[in-house]
Chains A and B, each alone.
Chain A
Amino acid sequence: MIVRRIAVEHFGRFLQPLEVALDPGRPNLLAGPNGSGKSTLLAALTSAFTVSATSTAQEIRRWQPWQRHLSPRVTVEFQHAESLWRLQKEFAFSPRGKALLERFEEGQWRPHAQGKNVEERLPEFLGSPQGGPGSWLVAGVLWARQNELAELRLDQPLQERIRNSLGAQIRSGVVDTVLREAKRLYDGDWPPEGRSLRRNSPILTLEDELNRLRESVRALQDSLDALENDRIQLEKAREESAALEVRRSELEARLRELGEKLRLKTALDAGRLELEKSIQAARFELDTAASVLRLRQTIAGDLDAAAKAVSTLEERLQRARAEVKSAEDAWIQARAAVSARAAEAEAQLRSLNAPPRDLLDRVARLDQQLRELQARLDGALLHAQLQLDAPARIGVQKGSPEGVLEGQAGETLEISGSPEIELVLPGFGRMRIWGPSASVEELRGQIARVRLERDQLTQPWGAADLNLLEEKRRQADSLENEAGALRKALAAHESGASLEAVSFARARDSVRDLEEQLRQAHDRQRALQQQKAALDSDPRGESALQQAKEEAARKLAVDETRLRELLEHLALLPAGLDLEKQRAESELARLQTQLEQARELRARLSERIAQKQGEGAYARLAEAEEQLAAKQQEYDSALRRARANRLLWQTLNAVLEEAESSILPRLEERTLQVLSRINGGFLRGLILDRNSWKPAAVTPAEAAGALDVSPERISGGEQEQLHFALRLALADILSESEPQLVVLDDVLLATDSARLGRILDLIEERRPRMQFLILTCHPEPFSGLEDARLVRLGALDASASA
């Protein structure tokens, strides 16, 4: 941006309008004494671009004319991107502030923006549209205010622009071409971040095809594996069938063998039965003959014995019956005796009329009660005792006993009474005795009642004496015991438990036994008689019977021998043949089923194998594997190429980024170059702060080795030159694409004339692309600038102030 004209009104000391025209092609010197408004003009220029027209901030308020309520106005005409622009602002310190941006088109000024829109356009003129309203941008770098040369104000968007500018230098020409080509290849397969392939990358299509082929190969291989499995199953089924066949043959052979044995056993069993029957018959015949012979010999004796037995038994029976009669009589007698005695005891008991035990207890208690009452009565009566020395007749007028009492010498007479005793003592007089006589009558009454009760109790029993009554009770108890024992004995007789009853029962049993034995003896006798009759009925004689016996014995021996042999044969046959045959038949049936199932399985497997063979899975697998291999190769090749393209792109970008990120070293280098031009290489090293880009450390040329010192440790003039060199180096970069205005407001005050001269040379070199505006109180040192345009502010001001 190049400034052509600055006009102010009501701005600081400039109450009246003041206009300063600047030459874009020459250095512009604005000279004036202190207070002439040089810095004010710079502030107006700065405010026009960086302060909003509606701002109320102190930074613009301070430019309101003293004691005047006036709105500062600024107008700046400037050139940017080959267009001429005019910016007008009126700062009202309120929303009433005005801003207008115009462009010179077709011979006249045409408005382009007003108000807020103007503020939004201004960063574009200051070097970066990315800076927001109020950004200083190039102004922060190129417009150095008084005493603020070191205050480098570098907004981030401007830093970015400087980086890009340097980057553009790196990315030019061949590099740009190669980069474009590399990007074209890269974009073909990768998205910007480059981690995974683009969604529509042909490689992903290849990958899908590859996966489909793999799946196809897998399926075909599975099919072949299934076929192989079927073969193995079929082989196994055949082996199992063969084994089953062998087993079936064995079973059938076994069944035949078992059948033979069973038939043999049946035959042997039938033979055995026959023999047994024959043996039985022979035995019978033998026994019969033998027994007839034997019986005929023994029958008579047996009969005699039987008769004797019968006779003996009859005698015993008779005796036994007699014993039964006597036992019965004894029993009856004993029973009668007991019964009579029991009746007698009952009669005695009744006649005794003994009171019950509890009555005796009551009587005893009443007697006790009487004694106690009497004692109390005695205690309540008055008593007199006369011991006579001579015979006397005592008259008892009151007392007991009442009347005349005679007593001999040495006798004692006792009289008692209540409430007094009155005695007449012949020759003596009357004696009257009285004292306490408590409750005597009551006691007498009680005694009478008790006696009455006692009498009532004892009266039915015929005696009042307790001892007599108790004696009667004792006798009664004894009789009752006896009666009880007699009743038990009678009960035993009745129930048959008594000795006599038992003897009677035993005698009866004995009779019954003997009767039974006699019956049996009679039966035996009859049987023997029948036997004899039967024997007598066989017409055969002794010899015939003997012969029959021998014949039967012979036949028996033969049959028994044959039976033994047959049994030996049978013993050789195993047990459970039937069961074993049954089991074998069941197993054979199961085996037949298994064989049938195996046959069906083999048929199924064979059919499946034939079908799968016909499907040609192997040939299809071979073809699929071939396709897969080809596709894999194609994919690998494409992926390798894509990765190579990515590697190329990433490598190029990494290299470029590193180059571009090394802006600070470049800037440091350029600054040192400029500084060297000024001070002859006083510093050989410079480190800029990574964030602010301000000098952070310097290395003096004279320092041995690396020695970074703070810029504050160099002289003020050298600091001034350092900061100036940095700004100039930045200006060099910023002016590469467009000429820029550089403003220096009294910034080289500490620089000596020699170095200032070199600075002027640097300024001269930059004339084609930089517009310089130097504000100074002392224009003389700048006289070395060729063709510089000098504007004396005082003269301008005078006219303006007028």
Chain B
Amino acid sequence: MAVRLLHTADWQIGMKAAHLGPAAARAREARLETARRIAELARAERVDLAILAGDTFEHPAVPLDDVGRVARVLADFGCPVIVLPGNHDPLGAGSLWELPVWEECPNVRIARLESPIELESCVVFPCPLRNRWGTGDPTAWIPSGLFGDRIRIGAAHGAVAGLPNQEQNWSIPADAPSLRRLDYLALGDWHSARQYRSPDGAVRMAFSGTPEPASFAEDASGFVLLVDIDSPGAAPRIRQERVARLRWIREEFQILESGALAAVLRKLEALASPETVAELHLAGALYPEDRDTLAALRQLASRFLFLRIHDGLRPVLRLEDLPDGPLREAARRLDQLALQEEQSAEARLALQTLLTFAKGAGA
């Protein structure tokens, strides 16, 4: 008997986004909207089962309202939903998994125990977490000898052991699917989507990634995975579906010549959208004739949900534009200081101010 599974994780509902300033609230709301879109997708794709592989919520103390809203979204999936407590929303006394709201969602099953969940189409082996931090293998309990004639699906939350760039919190062996004889292991914790091949060549373990990006560092977030397994032992067919509402963009520009900033402005204008979160890193030289362009760039912020410009431009100093004497000498000194890391930002700003005043005074 085949099974179609919707694998998602790391919804991080209630996520703080202080670095987004006033856009943080909107970013948080966007995550709930994306959750609703996932529910629509689940219904549209007629999935047999949905697994939330941990970190549904950002923190054990997220507002109760948000918990209620998520419960209602999950109730709308139209299929059994297995929710795995992750390291951000672990099980434990007083946790939000004990709230009575979950009792009102008959299709939602909170995986509170390390115990197989038998469904019509498959058996799910959940690995719930009880703590924020840990070094053990949460999949260690999965018995390899049970339900051998059924499609066996695991759900775990943690890092894959031995792989680079992964913080080793709740370490899952890289060969867990074959160790535990799983047809598929749905993982959560890593926010970018990743897939791992088993020795038989099939991809049997994957991170779905967060459905709504949470930082600029994520290179493959904003997706859910639709996984089709035809029979026990068959290779899963995995499809990545984009569900994110917001777009996160990070751009770096090195300005080396006069007028180059205009191209940056044009590019940014094209990207401007109320659903875009952007970070712009400028390095290089600021020519006097480009100052207005820089000002225009700053004004673009109102057209983004959030725009942060890291201005590392160093004003180009043309000493001949200044009268010989104290102004030129002062500008020269400030220009030198701008090269020193310690006072670079202040010196650049001071120099810019000096040049602006000198221009205004008719120098």
**Chain A interface, DSSP helix/strand/loop, else mixed:** helix
B358, A185: Cβ atoms closer than 8 Å: no
**Could you say which of B94, B362, B363 has the most chain A C-beta atoms within 10 Å of its C-beta?**
B94
Bound: A633/B14 CA distance, A: 23
Across the interface, do B14 and A185 meet the contact criterion of CB distance under 8 Å? Answer: no
Q: What residue in chain B is nearest A236 (Cβ atoms)?
A: B93
Question: Roughly how many angstroms separate A139 CA and B94 CA in the complex, as a whole number?
Answer: 94
Interface residues of B in 34-61 (CB under 8 A from A): 59-61
Interface check B254, CB cutoff 8 A: no
Contacting residues, chain A, for B346 (C-beta < 8 A): 640, 643-644, 647
CB of A235 within 8 Å of the partner chain: yes
Q: Which residues of A contact B164 (CB under 8 A)?
A: none
B17/A237 in contact, CB under 8 A: no
Tell whether A21 is near chain B: CB-to-CB under 8 Å.
no
Quick check: is B326 within 8 A (CB to CB) of the other chain?
A: yes
Counting CB contacts under 8 A, is A613 at the interface? yes
In-complex Cβ contact of A234 among B22, B93, B334 (8 A) = B93
Q: How far is the CB of A417 from chain B (nearest CB, A)?
A: 152
- Bound CA–CA A681/B89 (angstroms): 90
Closest chain A residue, CB of each to CB of B322 = A174
Known contacts A178-B357, A181-B357, A234-B93; is-contact A647 B343 (Cβ 8 Å): yes
Closest A residue, CB atoms, query B343: A647
List residues of chain B with CB within 8 A of the CB of A177.
357, 360-362
Tell me the bound Cα distance from A652 to B21 in angstroms: 37
**In the complex, which of the residues A173, A234, A647 contacts B350, with contact meaning CB atoms closer than 8 Å?**
A647
* One of A113-121, A495-503, A624-632 at the interface: A624-632
Closest chain-A Cβ to B327's Cβ sits at a distance in Å of: 6
Complex CA gap A53/B166 in Å reads: 95
* B21, B61, B337 interface centre (most CB from chain A within 10 Å): B61
Q: A618-B63, A619-B63, A655-B330 are in contact. Are A644 and B349 (CB under 8 A)?
A: yes
Contact status of A606 and B16, CB under 8 A, knowing A174-B327, A227-B61: no
B96's nearest neighbour on chain A, judged by CB, is: A613
B94–A606 contact, CB under 8 A? Answer: yes
* Inter-chain contact A626/B22, CB cutoff 8 Å: yes
| Those of A589-633 within 8 Å (CB) of chain B | 605-606, 609, 612-614, 616-619, 621-623, 625-626, 628-630, 633
- A-facing mask of B270-285, CB < 8 A → 1, else 0? 0000000000000000
Q: Which residues of A contact B363 (CB under 8 A)?
A: 174, 178
A residues less than 8 Å from B93 (CB atoms):
231-232, 234-235, 237-238, 605
For window 632-689 of chain A, which residues contact chain B by CB distance below 8 Å?
633, 640-641, 643-645, 647-648, 651-652, 654-656, 659
| B60/A655 in contact, CB under 8 A | no
Cβ distance A224 to chain B, nearest Cβ, rounded Å: 6
A115 to chain B, nearest CB (A): 46
Chain B interface mostly: helix
Count CB-based A-B contacts (< 8 Å): 141
- Residue from B18, B20, B63, B351 in contact with A628 in the complex, judged by beta carbons closer than 8 Å: B18
* Whole-angstrom CA separation of A645 from B349 in the bound complex: 8
B12 vs chain A, min Cβ distance (A): 12
Residue in contact with B60 in the complex, picked from A171, A228, A623, CB distance below 8 Å: A228
Chain A residues closer than 8 Å to B351, beta-carbon distance: 648
A230 interface residue per 8 A CB criterion: yes
| Residue of chain A at shortest CB distance from B92 | A235
Residues of chain A within 8 A (CB-CB) of B94 are 227, 230-231, 234-235, 605-606, 609
Q: CA of A181 to CA of B358 in the docked complex: distance in angstroms?
A: 10
Task: Check: A170 CB closer than 8 A to any chain B CB.
Answer: yes
Select the residue from B96, B330, B347 with max chain A CB neighbours within 10 A: B330
B353 within 8 A of A: yes
Q: Which of A612, A614, A618, A628 contacts B59 (CB 8 A)?
A: A618
Interfacial chain B residues near A622, Cβ < 8 Å: 14, 16, 18, 24, 28
Contact pattern, B 295-327, Cβ under 8 Å of A = 1, otherwise 0? 000000000000000000000000000010111
B21 touches A626 (CB 8 A): yes
How long is the Cα–Cα vector from A174 to B357 in the complex, in angstroms? 9
| Cβ-closest chain A residue relative to B61 | A618
Is the CB of A182 closer than 8 A to any CB of chain B? Answer: yes
Does residue B333 face the partner (Cβ distance < 8 Å to A)? Answer: yes
Chain A proximity of B133: nearest CB distance (Å): 13
Whether the Cβ atoms of B333 and A651 lie closer than 8 Å is yes
Q: In the complex, what residues of B have CB within 8 A of residue A654's CB?
A: 333
Alpha-carbon separation in the docked complex, A621 to B360 (Å): 46
Cα distance, A171 to B62, chains bound together (Å): 62
On whether the beta carbons of A618 and B62 are closer than 8 Å, the reply is yes
Residue B267 lies at the interface, judged by CB distance under 8 Å to chain A: no
CA of A618 to CA of B22, assembled, Å: 17
Q: Which residues of A contact B345 (CB under 8 A)?
A: 640, 644
Give the docked Cα–Cα distance between A769 and B96 (Å). 93
Asked if A270 CB lies within 8 Å of chain B CBs, one says no
CA distance A655 to B336 in the complex (A): 14
Q: Which residues of B contact A227 (CB under 8 A)?
A: 60-61, 94
B220 within 8 A of A: no
In the bound complex, do residue B14 and residue A647 qualify as a contact, i.e. CB atoms below 8 Å apart? no
**In the complex, are the beta carbons of A625 and B16 less than 8 A apart?**
yes
- A181: B residues at CB distance < 8 A: 357, 360-361
Q: Is A175 an interface residue (CB 8 A)?
A: yes
Using CB atoms, name the residue of chain A closest to B323.
A174
Partner of B337, one of A235, A645, A647, A656: A647
Closest to B99 in A: A613
Q: Give bound CA distance, A633 to B23, whole Å.
A: 14
Instruction: Report the minimal beta-carbon distance from A690 to chain B, rounded to whole angstroms.
Output: 22
When distances are taken between beta carbons in the complex, the residues of chain B under 8 Å from A175 are 323, 325-327
Interface contact B59-A625, CB-CB below 8 Å: no
B16: A residues at CB distance < 8 A: 621-622, 625-626
Look across to chain A and name the residue whose beta carbon is closest to the beta carbon of B17: A626
Q: Is the CB of A652 within 8 A of B330?
A: yes
Q: In the complex, which residues of chain A have a beta carbon less than 8 angstroms from the beta carbon of B110? A: none
User: What's the nearest-Cβ distance from chain A to residue B57, in Å?
Assistant: 10
Residue picked from B326, B346, B350, most chain A C-beta under 10 Å: B326
Interface residues of B in 118-146 (CB under 8 A from A): none
> Out of A185, A617, A655, which one reaches B329, CB within 8 Å?
A655
A659 to B59, CA, bound (A): 62
Residue B354 interfacial (CB < 8 Å): yes
Chain B residues in 8 Å Cβ range of A628: 18
Among B22, B28, B59, B337, which residue has its beta carbon within 8 angstroms of that of A630? Answer: B22
A651 touches B330 (CB 8 A): yes
- Is B350 touching A648 in the complex (CB atoms < 8 A)? yes
- Distance (whole angstroms) from the CB of A642 to the closest CB of chain B: 9
Residues of A contacting B263 in the complex (Cβ-Cβ under 8 angstroms)? none
CB distance from B140 to the nearest CB of A (A): 21
Q: In the complex, are the beta carbons of B326 and A655 less than 8 A apart?
A: yes
- Contact between B347 and A616, CB atoms less than 8 A apart: no
Q: List chain B residues, Cβ under 8 A from A621.
A: 16
- For A629, list chain B residues within 8 Å (CB): 18-19, 21
* Known pairs A622-B14, A652-B330; A644 contacts B21 (CB<8 A): no
In the complex, what's the smallest C-beta–C-beta distance from B271 to chain A, in angstroms? 22
4 other contacts beyond A231-B94, A606-B94, A640-B349, with CB at 8 A cut-off?
A175-B323, A231-B92, A237-B93, A622-B18
30 pairs across A/B with beta carbons < 8 Å?
A: A174-B362, A175-B323, A177-B360, A178-B354, A178-B363, A181-B357, A182-B354, A227-B60, A227-B94, A232-B92, A235-B93, A605-B94, A619-B63, A621-B16, A626-B24, A629-B19, A629-B21, A630-B21, A630-B22, A640-B346, A640-B349, A644-B347, A644-B350, A647-B343, A651-B334, A651-B350, A652-B326, A652-B327, A655-B329, A656-B326
What are the 5 tightest A-B residue pairs by CB atom distance, in nearest-first order?
A: A234-B93, A644-B349, A177-B361, A235-B93, A629-B18
B residues contacting A by CB (< 8 A) are: 14, 16-22, 24-25, 28, 59-64, 92-96, 323, 325-327, 329-330, 333-334, 337, 343, 345-351, 353-354, 357-358, 360-363
A residues touching B (Cβ–Cβ < 8 Å)? 170-171, 173-175, 177-178, 181-182, 185, 224, 227-228, 230-232, 234-235, 237-238, 605-606, 609, 612-614, 616-619, 621-623, 625-626, 628-630, 633, 640-641, 643-645, 647-648, 651-652, 654-656, 659
